[in-house]
Chains A and B, each alone.
Chain A
Amino acid sequence: MTAQTCFADIFDLLRNEPAVDYRKASRMLREIEMPADLRVAMMGNMTLDLLIPCLRVAAASVGQVAEFQAAPFGQHMQHLHDEALASFRPDILLLALSPDVMRPDGFARFQAMTVEERQALRDGIIAEIEEWMAAAISRTAATLMIANFPSPRSAGGLADLASEYGEQEFYLDLNHALIRTVRGQPRALILDVAAAAARVGTRQAIDARLQHLAKLSWTQPMIREVGQAFAHAVVGSRGLARKCLVLDLDNTLWGGVVGEDGPHGVHIGPGDMVGEAFHSFQLRVRALKERGILLALCSKNNPADVEEIFRERGDMPLKLSDMAATAVGWQPKHEGLEQIARTLNIGLDALVFLDDNPAEIAAVRAHLPQVQSVLLPAEPAYYVDALDELPWFEKGRLTAEDSGKAEQYAIAVRRDALKVERDPEDYLRLLEMRAVIREADSADLLRLHQLFAKTNQFNLTAKRLGLGEIEALLQDDAHQVGVAELRDKFGNLGTVALYVLRRNGHVLTIDHLMMSCRAMGRGLEDALMNDIKQRFLAMDDVPLIQGLYVPTPKNSVVSGFYEQQGFERAPQTGCLAYRLGRTDVRLKPCNMIKVENE
């Protein structure tokens, strides 16, 4: 079994019958031997070792082989200074604290406390977490995942909700304070354990016996739910989100078959129970678009019927204009999906495909295992839940590029209209492009991380750096990080390219150079290299500049890049390094883009 099929099978097993198949998934995982992609160090005042088997399976369900280290009970501060943590080189630090174990005396006499004492209790807990976060950020390059706090039943009975700063209000406020604390740190996110407990139901999630026996009160169903939350957080923090949701139409976006029932015969919209279910699902899909996920249609239908229903049923939340690409016709769906990937210039592994028909899902899986194909449940009322439970669209936080993404692709269609039957130079001139190339600063951190995580084609070394590593580059004097922003007459494309230069004695090395696919084919790479060359020329004592190229299955488009830029392959270093001496530097003319350096 290949790792890819194993991960896909585990993903399915967990969706279908989590309780039984969780151990089966664990067995399958033992059979594939792969180096770890993800190292997770766990600490807090619970016996977190008990989570490891489940979290390992959860990570595998999103394609990550994970390794774990659990700190001794209650040693979360000390462990940050432990050599064992440094040598583990964690990608994720998971902190799970139980407030009543942190402050047993405080909670024992909670009911007898004044409001001020209760607030001081809250402040003390948050201060301890802030202190841990500050130390964790400075001592490691990891992303921090901090568990929030499920609210226990109050000892104050019914009157608790009526009293000022009672126990339930205390927990709401504590979780709220945690949100505000974590929001301020781009390298941290909340692991929503409170929501996991609520989904399971507290009575089924928390078991007092387990707390007394093992210092972890979470039941198996709760641990599995936390595992799901962890899988979502892994996708969000590692930049593994897929770019595009591809939807079937009949019985996916509406009930019935438009080609037979007609635009007014299908079930969609309020006033009809099935129609309401599909209406809710369309609203949920639209919300994904607002989070920066592209939408596309892949359906076996007459294109005229599809155009008609979107025209006639203006009451549907989704419009044809929400779709970045469509493949409507009678060709097999795997061909439609390939066409969509080509149109959007993204990989098949950036697609999630949803369909209500098991045969279609099976066929797409057989032809295109890279596409994440998901079978919708039989009951349309559960489509919303099924979509929410997919981890594939999670982003740790949204950037300006996310909120404008659908608009970007709409603009791309207008640009393409300009391109028709024009020679390429004419087209580029008509775009009236302007670029700003400047040094990156901490405000660019999240976008830099996205570019590192998502750029496949125009990416010379295809190394995926984490937030912490990028932060370190920005602060290091030996490195220069540059970014390019591009706009044209149709709109702003945002920050679309980056480079990282490293000065090491007599050589300036271009460690990373990448450009988003939406900026490809416009000559921006020449402007970017001119900028790099000028920086190099300004360093009088550095005789040589070197560029690295690491071939991957996806970056062949840049295989000849350094040679085009006047570099020569360095013979003694195998195939990857290209060099250029000071006297051989030539800037390339770049007339189509007006470069405004800051």
Chain B
Amino acid sequence: MMPITMNELLALVGDVIELDPTRIDVCSDRDDVPGWDSLAHLSIVTALEERCHVRLTMEQIVAVRTVEDLGRALTEPVRP
């Protein structure tokens, strides 16, 4: 995995959903972030996977609710 900082993560999410990253909180639920719908969620995850050279499992992907969750999912050990 290529490491990523929380600020980069926020910037990436902001880029994908076209929202100023300063308006996103690391622990706001995606239901409360404008533009973070289910399709945007998938775009965020695939962009992050490409950036960090990892693949999350389907279950991890649906469980992620916040930017903080995203960061955590990246470091969770997954059986290769």
What residues of chain A have their CB less than 8 Å away from a CB belonging to chain B? 19, 23, 26-27, 30, 47, 49-50, 53, 209-210, 212-214, 219-221
Contact assessment for A213 and B50 in the assembled complex, using a CB-CB cutoff below 8 Å: no
What 9 new A-B contacts, CB under 8 Å, besides A23-B15, A53-B43, A214-B38?
A19-B50, A27-B15, A50-B39, A50-B42, A209-B57, A209-B61, A213-B62, A219-B46, A220-B46
Q: How far in angstroms is the closest Cβ of chain A from B30?
A: 15
Q: Indicate with 1 or 0, residue by residue over B29-46, a CB within 8 angstroms of chain A CB atoms.
A: 000000000110011001
Q: Indicate with 1 or 0, residue by residue over B44-75, a CB within 8 angstroms of chain A CB atoms.
A: 00110010000101100110000000000000
With the chains together, A221 CA to B46 CA distance in Å? 10
Contact assessment for B58 and A220 in the assembled complex, using a CB-CB cutoff below 8 Å: no
Please give, as numbers and ranges, the residues of chain B lying within 8 Å of A213 by CB-CB distance: 42, 58, 61-62
Is B26 interfacial (CB 8 A cutoff)? Answer: no
Task: Tell me the count of chain B residues lying within 8 A, CB to CB, of chain A.
Answer: 15
Please give, as numbers and ranges, the residues of chain A lying within 8 Å of B39 by CB-CB distance: 47, 49-50, 214
- Chain A interface SS verdict (over half): helix
Is B18 interfacial (CB 8 A cutoff)? Answer: yes
Nearest 6 CB-CB pairings of A with B = A23-B15, A214-B42, A220-B46, A209-B58, A220-B50, A49-B39
Of all chain A residues, which has the CB nearest B49? A220
Contact assessment for B50 and A210 in the assembled complex, using a CB-CB cutoff below 8 Å: no
Please give, as numbers and ranges, the residues of chain A lying within 8 Å of B47 by CB-CB distance: 23, 220
With the chains together, A162 CA to B61 CA distance in Å? 41
Contact assessment for A50 and B43 in the assembled complex, using a CB-CB cutoff below 8 Å: yes
Q: How far in angstroms is the closest Cβ of chain A from B78?
A: 12
Please give, as numbers and ranges, the residues of chain B lying within 8 Å of A49 by CB-CB distance: 39
Please give, as numbers and ranges, the residues of chain B lying within 8 Å of A26 by CB-CB distance: 15, 18
Please give, as numbers and ranges, the residues of chain A lying within 8 Å of B15 by CB-CB distance: 23, 26-27
Of all chain A residues, which has the CB nearest B11? A23
Contact assessment for B46 and A23 in the assembled complex, using a CB-CB cutoff below 8 Å: no
Please give, as numbers and ranges, the residues of chain A lying within 8 Å of B50 by CB-CB distance: 19, 220-221
Please give, as numbers and ranges, the residues of chain A lying within 8 Å of B38 by CB-CB distance: 214
23 contacts between A and B (CB under 8 A): A23-B47, A26-B15, A27-B15, A30-B18, A47-B39, A49-B39, A50-B39, A50-B43, A209-B55, A209-B57, A209-B61, A210-B42, A210-B46, A212-B58, A213-B58, A213-B61, A213-B62, A214-B39, A214-B42, A219-B46, A220-B46, A220-B47, A221-B50
With the chains together, A26 CA to B14 CA distance in Å? 12
With the chains together, A23 CA to B50 CA distance in Å? 13
With the chains together, A209 CA to B55 CA distance in Å? 10
Contact assessment for B16 and A23 in the assembled complex, using a CB-CB cutoff below 8 Å: yes
With the chains together, A362 CA to B35 CA distance in Å? 39
With the chains together, A26 CA to B12 CA distance in Å? 13
With the chains together, A213 CA to B62 CA distance in Å? 9
Of all chain A residues, which has the CB nearest B46? A220
With the chains together, A212 CA to B18 CA distance in Å? 26
Of all chain A residues, which has the CB nearest B47? A220
Q: How far in angstroms is the closest Cβ of chain B from A17?
A: 12
Please give, as numbers and ranges, the residues of chain B lying within 8 Å of A53 by CB-CB distance: 43
Please give, as numbers and ranges, the residues of chain B lying within 8 Å of A210 by CB-CB distance: 42, 46
Please give, as numbers and ranges, the residues of chain A lying within 8 Å of B55 by CB-CB distance: 209
Please give, as numbers and ranges, the residues of chain B lying within 8 Å of A214 by CB-CB distance: 38-39, 42
With the chains together, A514 CA to B42 CA distance in Å? 50
Please give, as numbers and ranges, the residues of chain B lying within 8 Å of A221 by CB-CB distance: 50
Q: How far in angstroms is the closest Cβ of chain A from B2?
A: 13
Please give, as numbers and ranges, the residues of chain A lying within 8 Å of B18 by CB-CB distance: 26, 30
With the chains together, A209 CA to B45 CA distance in Å? 12
With the chains together, A23 CA to B58 CA distance in Å? 24
Please give, as numbers and ranges, the residues of chain A lying within 8 Å of B42 by CB-CB distance: 50, 210, 213-214
Q: How far in angstroms is the closest Cβ of chain B from A70?
A: 10
Q: How far in angstroms is the closest Cβ of chain A from B14?
A: 10
With the chains together, A209 CA to B46 CA distance in Å? 11
With the chains together, A221 CA to B16 CA distance in Å? 16
Please give, as numbers and ranges, the residues of chain A lying within 8 Å of B58 by CB-CB distance: 209, 212-213
Of all chain A residues, which has the CB nearest B55? A209
Please give, as numbers and ranges, the residues of chain A lying within 8 Å of B16 by CB-CB distance: 23
Q: How far in angstroms is the closest Cβ of chain A from B10?
A: 14
Q: Indicate with 1 or 0, residue by residue over B1-28, a CB within 8 angstroms of chain A CB atoms.
A: 0000000000000011010000000000
With the chains together, A30 CA to B46 CA distance in Å? 22
Please give, as numbers and ranges, the residues of chain B lying within 8 Å of A50 by CB-CB distance: 39, 42-43
Q: How far in angstroms is the closest Cβ of chain A from B23?
A: 16
With the chains together, A591 CA to B50 CA distance in Å? 69
With the chains together, A50 CA to B38 CA distance in Å? 11
Please give, as numbers and ranges, the residues of chain B lying within 8 Å of A19 by CB-CB distance: 50
Q: How far in angstroms is the closest Cβ of chain A from B46?
A: 5
Please give, as numbers and ranges, the residues of chain B lying within 8 Å of A47 by CB-CB distance: 39
With the chains together, A220 CA to B42 CA distance in Å? 11
With the chains together, A328 CA to B61 CA distance in Å? 60
Of all chain A residues, which has the CB nearest B58? A209
